[in-house]
Structures are given as C-alpha cells and as structure tokens.
Amino acid sequence: MSVIIKTAGKGELPFEVRLLLADAETGAELPLSVPASFFRERGWAAGRLIGDSDAEEAVAAARVFECICAGVRLLSYSDNPKRGLVRKLCAKGYDRGDAEAAAAELEALGYINEDSQIKRRGEAMAERKLRGLRRVKSELCALGYDRDKVASWADGCGLDFGEICARAIEKKGGIPDRGDPDGRRKLMSYLYRQGFSSEDIANAAKLFSGMNTKE
C-alpha cells in the first residue's frame, strides 16, 4: 500500500514542515507536523508516493516534533543541558527515544548551547553564591552538563577563587581571632563545604588581612 504526500509546506515554527498524507487507495488523510531536518533529509516533495515504512517514519517524526515543541517551552523558563532536558521530557510522559532525538535537534538548532550555559551558570554560582571551583563543578555535573565540557570551562574560566573566598569570609563576619579556635574551625569547615581549596583559603586570608589593614 502506498501513501501520497498531498501537501508539504512551512509551518508556523522555523523548524516545522506541515505534511498532509493520504492513503493512495482510500484517500484517508493524515495531517502531520514534522521537523524540517527530517523532511530535508528525505528529499520529499508534494505529490510524491511513499511506502508504508516511510509513512510510519513520518508519524514517528511527528512525535519527535511534539517533543521538540515541549522542549522549547521548557527552555523558555530556564537553561537546560541535553541530559537535563531529556529527564524533564520523560517526566512529562514522553518516550525516552523521542526525548533524546528532540534534545539533539534542539542543540543542532541552537536552542541548547551547553558551553555558554556552563559559563553563565558557573560564573553565577561562583560570583553570586560564593562557591569554590570544586563545588561549582560538582553542581554543574549534577545538573546534567557533560563532565568534559565542565572541566574545559573550569580550566580556562579565569575566576579568582581566592578573591571570591575572601568575600565569603567577609560575609560570614570575618576571620575569628586566634583566641576562638572553634570559630576558626567552623569557618574552615564552611569554606571547604563551599568548595574552596586550601590554596584559595590561604590566598583569601592574605587578601582579607590586607583589606582589614587598609581599613
């Protein structure tokens, strides 16, 4: 049995092609919206006869298109890595295979740019939340970002974690004097939990002492 592509044209969305398929024998029609990339790859055109297997692929592509639209809505609320977007789409009831195909398509379309997301979110974690590099990397990976991409950003981010650590110390009220060993231990524990290294803390202590001396 064959199916004819009665019409094929651009949809409302830039990545959408609208098809109208019709059974060549019965004339029964099936309107579908599919990703433009799917349509281009097959070289289809209006008036062409396709087989049942091709029609089934078009129906599967329509499911992916629905998933892509759901993904665009999710991305309009917040940044999501591919892995995180797949998780959210699956939680909404979409098939994992469709969700993975949708996330890959959205990355190809430029809706997902993990490198820029990692840079933006990593800098915000460090500068606003006063996190050390170790914790920033851990939290980015927990969000679903690729470990290699996170490591690459971390190696070249250029952030001064000693200065950020000094700000964290200031926020906690400064460095307790030597007569308060419990306070000093608590501060060190806090800084390590924030993800700062021993080197960051040593540099921060020098910076903090310098700031107090100037005052």
The answer to whether the pTM exceeds 0.85 is no
Q: Is the pLDDT of residue 142 over 80?
A: yes
Which ranges in the chain are annotated with CATH 1.10.10.10?
2-108
**Residue whose C-alpha is closest to residue 80's, from 50, 43, 41, 120:** 120
Q: Is the pLDDT of residue 213 over 80?
A: no
pLDDT in tens, 76-112: 998 899 999 999 999 999 999 999 999 999 999 999 9
Identify the H or E element spanning 44: none
| Percentage of the chain lying above the pLDDT 90 cut | 83
**Residue whose C-alpha is closest to residue 140's, from 158, 165, 114:** 114
Q: Which fold has domain 2-108?
A: Arc Repressor Mutant, subunit A (1.10.10)
Q: Could you tell me the pLDDT band of residue 50, with boundaries at 50, 70 and 90?
A: very high
Q: How far apart are the first and last CA of the chain?
A: 86
35 residue type, one letter = P
What pLDDT score does 25 carry? 87
